[in-house]
Structure 1
């Protein structure tokens, strides 16, 4: 029997009160946090480079003030670095956070320093907050377990007769070194994702591009240059670097990029025909530095140990070529591409990244 009269009104009031209490209990969570601001809409559109010497501009000269040994900073960020050479009219500014010799942990978040500089990812946060980041381009990993620059040093040592060929001494463990590198690079890339997310960016708001490494030397050394005048490497080591070491390193970097959903730009064959010491008569056709010695630096104790630092890195022309390929890649739909020479000899992104 339904309640009538005043009892019905009391019953209805109790039901309403109980229902409201249920709503309060079921919806008793804390208020939603203040939404993140998102990427600035009207701010300058920018590109950011992060990583090590292959992207900082080592070897290209004209280094930014404060990065050429001042107070122990040898990051060698060049005004000719590839990030500044994309030729994109839609980009207002480019930032170079890369530092020569940087390991993956210094690219990511944490306390690791490189040549006095703190985390690159922490510096990215400030850029992302004040600018609209269109893309973050990362070149890193070789300074982790692979220690690629030290391997090249070992190759030179082998040429002098003071060690085994680096293909024999390092080759058997090279794949294992690269395998150990991959999770470190993944963590650095995840840190970059975290920084961008904390700044309010969705992954679709920007591009994360990971680039691999080019072979700076190859087996086709010009006559008379396979010595201290240019490229002091054994012939078997030259073949190992180009045909084994760089491809395996490239596969590791590609794997790291895939794990975080980043785009991948393969540079492993970008320098073929333009390696250091590939042209006896016209060095301007080479896109990589030969054995380079800053003789004046040898006279100063604080600079002497860095006198050969530019050796076997892309020169200004090499960075210009890589930058042009990168700029084109930014506006393609491909998840991955390889920088290969086109009919005119310049680098362009090709959708195939296979060998």
Structure 2
């Protein structure tokens, strides 16, 4: 009897030991570390990378270091959208975007923009003492599409009664320009992935979002403002920029985001009804600057060429609206969405629209 009890006790002890060993092994497989977010030390941070659409150009309030000092014209602003993005746990907002930047100025390498090293290199330094939760990117227009330059061409065409609308020349190779942009933007996004991966980040540790461009101008404005008092453009060109240019750019950028495994936020229709000059005598509903001259810059030879740089860029109201939509989008698990105006007059992320729907 005693021997039988001893045998039963030994079997029970062996069974318990086996269960404990299995539990330890399963726990080790399921939780290799206790990390629940970005690695490293420092504040949880959201970062903006890109060109003038995201740097803060157009708000008229720029940090001294980026308002021409020593040749730096990045025009970063405390009113830039990154500073209004709300994301759970984030306590710091860092703006690395620079007015005039193209994809090559984002990538790892030695390309500089307005005296600054590439934005990917700046991100490398930032992750040493910041925990990056999200990177929001606005880039591509200054690559092959040269969208800002095309708007300037349409601006110039207004002065000539004999010249054809500028969009007639643009259309001949517009789509091929957009196609050429796609791999360049994808490569820039991949370099951002590379920086974070080499810093020990896993894909699930952060969000990477590429946003497209909202049209700064449109055909729905009083005729009295289609001049140097506001928006000197021909009506066919205003329609092309809003209904074709911004929409085609968004379609190309969405493909670039997919190539680089980034999320995508379509801004192509975000500013409809809020473009520059759309408010007539009341500018309070507009999210973009009208034709703007910084007259004090004309008094200095080294600043004169930048006197109209902020024209037709998002103003502070626009940046706040875009930031609100971005904040809501980041809080979802959606891979893509479009910023559209809701019944409350504010932008919200909705089911992503295709280029055809945007026209």
| TM-score range for the pair, normalised by the shorter chain length | 0.7 to 0.9
The alpha-carbon deviation at position 163 of structure 1 amounts to: 4.4
Corresponding residue for 1:277?
A: 277
Corresponding residue for 1:97?
A: 96
Aligned pairs for 1:205-224 within 5 A: 205-224=205-224
Superimposed CA distance per residue, residues 155-174 of structure 1 (whole angstroms, 9 cap, x where no aligned partner): 01111117432211111211
Corresponding residue for 2:72?
A: 73
The alpha-carbon deviation at position 203 of structure 1 amounts to: 1.0
> C-alpha separation between the residues in 2 aligned to 1:188 and 1:86?
22
> C-alpha separation between the residues in 2 aligned to 1:291 and 1:50?
25
> C-alpha separation between the residues in 1 aligned to 2:325 and 2:89?
16
TM-score w.r.t. length of structure 1: 0.87
Corresponding residue for 1:311?
A: 311
1:305/1:352 Cα in 2 relative to 1: closer, same or farther (>3 Å)? same
> C-alpha separation between the residues in 2 aligned to 1:163 and 1:215?
23
Aligned pairs for 1:152-163 within 5 A: 152-161=151-160, 163=163
Aligned length: 320
Corresponding residue for 1:149?
A: 148
Superimposed CA distance per residue, residues 17-59 of structure 1 (whole angstroms, 9 cap, x where no aligned partner): xxxxxxxxxxxxxxxxxxxx99436531100000000000100
Q: Is the 8 A contact 1:40 1:130 kept in 2?
A: no
Corresponding residue for 1:268?
A: 268
Q: Is the 8 A contact 1:274 1:287 kept in 2?
A: yes
The alpha-carbon deviation at position 307 of structure 1 amounts to: 0.4
Corresponding residue for 1:165?
A: 165
Corresponding residue for 1:340?
A: 340
> C-alpha separation between the residues in 2 aligned to 1:266 and 1:89?
23
Does residue 351 of structure 2 align to residue 351 of structure 1? yes
Corresponding residue for 2:286?
A: 286
Aligned pairs for 1:1-355 within 5 A: 39-40=38-39, 43-88=42-87, 90-161=89-160, 163-354=163-354, 355=357
> C-alpha separation between the residues in 1 aligned to 2:228 and 2:168?
22
Superimposed CA distance per residue, residues 282-313 of structure 1 (whole angstroms, 9 cap, x where no aligned partner): 10110000001111111111000000000000
The alpha-carbon deviation at position 178 of structure 1 amounts to: 0.8
Of the structure 1 ranges 243-252 and 162-171, higher mean CA displacement relative to structure 2 is found in 162-171
> C-alpha separation between the residues in 2 aligned to 1:89 and 1:64?
27
1:67/1:163 Cα in 2 relative to 1: closer, same or farther (>3 Å)? farther
Larger Rg: 1
SS of residue matched to 1:134: strand
Unaligned runs of 5+ in 2: 1-34
1:199/1:163 Cα in 2 relative to 1: closer, same or farther (>3 Å)? farther
Q: CA RMSD in A?
A: 1.6
> C-alpha separation between the residues in 1 aligned to 2:88 and 2:182?
34
The alpha-carbon deviation at position 329 of structure 1 amounts to: 0.6
SS of residue matched to 1:66: helix
> C-alpha separation between the residues in 1 aligned to 2:232 and 2:76?
26
The alpha-carbon deviation at position 64 of structure 1 amounts to: 1.5
